[in-house]
Amino acid sequence: MSRKNNVRYLYLLTVFFITLSGFGQMPIFKRYYIADIPGLGWLAKFYITHYIHYICAALLIGFSAYIITGYIMAGRKNSKLTVTGYLRGTLIIGLIATGILLVIRNFEGYIFSHNLIIFLDLSHLALVMLFLFTSLYCLIFKKKWTTK
Amino acid sequence: MTGNISRRSFIKGGIAACAVAASGIPTSASGADKDKQLTTLLDIGKCIGCGACVEACSGVNAGKYPEPKKPFPRMYPDRAKPEDWSDKKDIHDRLTPYNWLYIQSADVTVNGEQKTITIPRRCMHCTNPPCVKLCPWGSAKQLENGISRIDPDLCLGGAKCREVCPWEIPQRQTGIGLYLDILPAFAGNGVMYKCDRCYNRIAEGKLPACVEVCPENVQEMGPRDEIIKKARALAKETNGYIYGENENGGTNTIYVSPVPFETLNKAIETGKGKPHLKSVSDSMGKANNLVAAMAIAPIAGIAAAVGTFYKYSRKDNEAKQDEPKE
Ligand code: SF4
Ligand code: SF4
Ligand code: SF4
């Protein structure tokens, strides 16, 4: 039980920092004085938020693989994904997929078409907004990922 | 008018991009060869500082310069300050939205002789340009031939490109661009401008204006591998020094100088719109090194899950075996 809770807290912490550093890719935290709050100065440093986003992405991919493998191995009899669970899972997979393409784009020599880059940037942002709203809904209405 | 058309075509482009992405055809991903990117060689020992290149740049690119609407919409919070160069179009001693190339000068001693070295400065056209790769909207783009440019119809003027550029090259003009159509009071602040390597002239098979006009043939242009070879040969022949081959992981602008660049860097005036000549490490490379962790992550996750599963099923079995049998 405690192991499950640890994973849950680590997952939440990762989601929190990946979202924050993700929004830090846009030049907003300095303009809106958020980076002036003591301890939050790093939010305005684009290279720092970029590294943090990458580190959190590695953790999120690791957790996702852990949870999906666990889910498959345990079999569907033990627990089943709920509708909101499916929705959140799909959004996370979409975020990971667009994110991986953006990571590839960032390597030298990978010159993607402009339309594809715009599509990836905007869909990554749209997916995270949808994920946040869905998560808020699930928090308020106490929706769980799985049924026992 | 053209702005409106381009914005409409931007939306269309977005829809087209969705279609392409949805159909899963990777038309756009290409591991373009760095060696073949268009590179300029600048033999600064030959430059006489006449400024003909600066004039030619303005001459051919004036049509791309901003024509902002005034007064500018008020921006909130107060920290967002307008940057207005529209009344200072004649400034030629630094980079501005109306001046993409300028001549830096350095008083130095070469072989015991006092000399003024002049250095044409503009965007370096990095082989992996952080201004392009880190733009959150895809407004900055790199062309197949390595040229990086900022699309004035898409740029919102947040100036992230200037902050992530090791030389702080792009320059902002307020009161123009897409941000005016979105939330001008709360997001964006104009459009960023910089040398686009005369991409439109190159597409027509011409040379960049600054290269073509120079009376001393300071610049030449070619595929990166050939230009690097020439630069090394020139440096060897003149006992010179090279800048741009490895800076920021490599750029498509290679300077060859008769004096070390540390010396030049101390002698030139640097600051806003006046780029330095320091050595620069690879900005994108540091994060790219973290990608190995991303590749290992799913394997680690699966291994941990499998481990946990067997541990629990073994415990379950043991618990069952320990149960008293009848
Ligand atoms: S035109 Fe040639 S010689 Fe004159 S300033 Fe420019 S690079 Fe130097
Ligand atoms: S020098 Fe700066 S503006 Fe030019 S390509 Fe490199 S990062 Fe971009
Ligand atoms: S390449 Fe074209 S845009 Fe760039 S500095 Fe030369 S003339 Fe200006």
Amino acid B18: pLDDT:
41
Q: What percent of chain B has pLDDT over 90?
A: 71
Q: Does A54 touch chain B (CB under 8 A)?
A: yes
Ligand 2 centroid – CA B247 distance (Å):
11
Higher-pLDDT residue of A5 and B302 is B302
* Separation in Å, CA of B52 to nearest CA in chain A: 33
Q: Which of B291, B311, B312 is the best substitution to test chain A (most A C-beta atoms within 10 A)?
A: B291
| CB-CB neighbours of A136 under 10 Å | 10
Q: What is the pLDDT of residues B259-317, one digit of tens each?
A: 999 999 999 999 999 999 999 999 999 899 899 889 999 999 999 888 887 877 777 77
pLDDT at A18 over 90: yes
B44 alpha carbon to ligand 1 midpoint, in Å?
9
- What are the CB-based long-range contacts (under 8 Å, 24+) for B228-236? B228/B39, B228/B254, B230/B41, B231/B41, B231/B256, B234/B41, B234/B43
Q: Does residue A72 surpass a pLDDT of 70? A: yes
Taking the CA of residue B251 and the nearest CA in chain A, the distance in Å comes to: 11
Residue B213: predicted pLDDT: 98
- Chain B contact for A69 (CB, 8 A cutoff): yes
Domain total of chain B: 1
Helix (H, G, I), strand (E, B) or coil at A52: helix
Distance B131 CA to ligand 2 centre (A): 6
Dihedral, CA of residue A89, residue B136, residue A9 and residue A51, to nearest 10? 130
Residue pair B197/B150 in contact (Cβ under 8 Å)? The answer is no
**pLDDT number for residue B323:** 57
What is the distance between the alpha carbons of residues B293 and B231, in angstroms, rounded to a whole number?
A: 37
Residue having the nearest C-alpha atom to atom 3 of ligand 1:
B47
No. of helices (H) and no. of strands (E), chain A: 4, 2
Its pTM stands at: 0.89
| Residue B303 located in a structural domain | no
Query: With bands split at pLDDT 50, 70 and 90, how would you rate the model's confidence at B20?
Result: very low
Q: Round to the nearest angstrom and report the end-to-end CA distance of chain A.
A: 14
Given a cut of 70, whether residue B225 has pLDDT beyond it is yes
A114-140 vs A83-105: helix axis angle to the nearest 10? 150
Among B43, B44, B50, B122, the mutation site with the greatest number of ligand 1 atoms within 8 A of its Cβ is: B50
Residue B26's pLDDT is 40
Annotate B202-263 with DSSP letters as a single string: HHTTPPPHHHHH-TT--EEEEEHHHHHHHHHHHHHHHT-EEESSSGGG-BSEEEEESS-HHH
Domain that holds residue B131: 31-287
- Determine the average pLDDT of the residues in B37-53: 97
Q: What is the CA(B65)–ligand 2 centre distance, in A? A: 19
Give the model confidence (pLDDT) of B202-224 as tens digits: 999 999 999 999 999 999 999 99
pLDDT band per the 50, 70, 90 thresholds, residue B32: low
Would you call A115 and B28 a contact, using CB atoms and an 8 Å cutoff? yes
Q: What is the per-residue pLDDT across A26-44, written as a single tens digit (0 to 9) for each? A: 998 888 888 888 989 999 9
pLDDT given for residue A76 in this prediction: 65
**CATH number of the CATH domain containing B117:** 3.30.70.20
Nearest CA in chain B to A57: B294
Query: A3-12, A83-92, B243-252: which range is least confident on average?
Result: A3-12
pLDDT over threshold 50, residue B14 = no
Is A77 exposed, middle or buried, given 0-12, 13-18 or 19+ CB atoms closer than 10 A? Answer: exposed
* Single-letter residue type at A118: I
| Residue-wise pLDDT tens digits, B124-176 | 999 999 999 999 999 999 999 999 999 999 999 999 999 999 999 999 999 99
Rounded Cα distance between B66 and B76, Å, is: 23
pLDDT at B24: 40
Examine residue B305 and state whether it is found in any structural domain, yes or no. Answer: no
Ligand 2 geometric centre to CA of B201 (Å) = 20
Chain B partners within 8 Å of A111 (Cβ): 30, 32, 142-144
Residue of chain A whose Cα is closest to the Cα of B298: A62
Domain membership of residue B65 (yes or no) is: yes
Q: Are B298 and A28 a contacting pair at CB < 8 A?
A: no
Q: Extract the tokens encoding B186.
A: 């709360």
The verdict on the CB of residue B220 being under 6 Å from ligand 1 is no
Q: In this complex, do A70 and B309 lie within 8 Å of one another by their Cβ atoms?
A: yes
The beta strands (E) that lie in A47-107 are given as 80-81
* Contact with chain B for residue A37, Cβ under 8 A: no
